[in-house]
Structure 1
Amino acid sequence: MDWNRVEGNWKQMKGKVKEQWGRLTDDDLDVINGRRDQLEGKIQERYGLAKDQVNKDIDDWYSAQRW
Structure 2
Amino acid sequence: MNEDILKGKWNEIKGEIRSRWGKLNDDELEGMRGNFTSIGGLLQQRYGLKQDEARDGLNKILSRFNSRVEDFKDDLRDDNSAHP
TM over 0.5: yes
TM-score by length of 1: 0.74
User: 1:32·1:39 contact (CA, 8 Å) conserved in 2?
Assistant: yes
Residue 44 (structure 1) aligns with: 44
Any stretches of 5+ residues in structure 2 without a counterpart?
70-84
Secondary structure of the residue that 1:63 maps to in structure 2? helix
* TM-score, length-scaled by structure 2: 0.63
Structure of higher CA gyration radius:
2
Question: Which structure shows the higher helix fraction?
Answer: 2
**Are 2:29 and 1:29 equivalent residues in the alignment?**
yes
Q: Which runs of 5+ in 1 are unaligned?
A: none
Runs of 4+ in 1 over 6 A off after TM superposition: none
Q: In structure 2, what is the equivalent of residue 58 of structure 1? A: 58
Alignment root-mean-square deviation, CA: 1.8
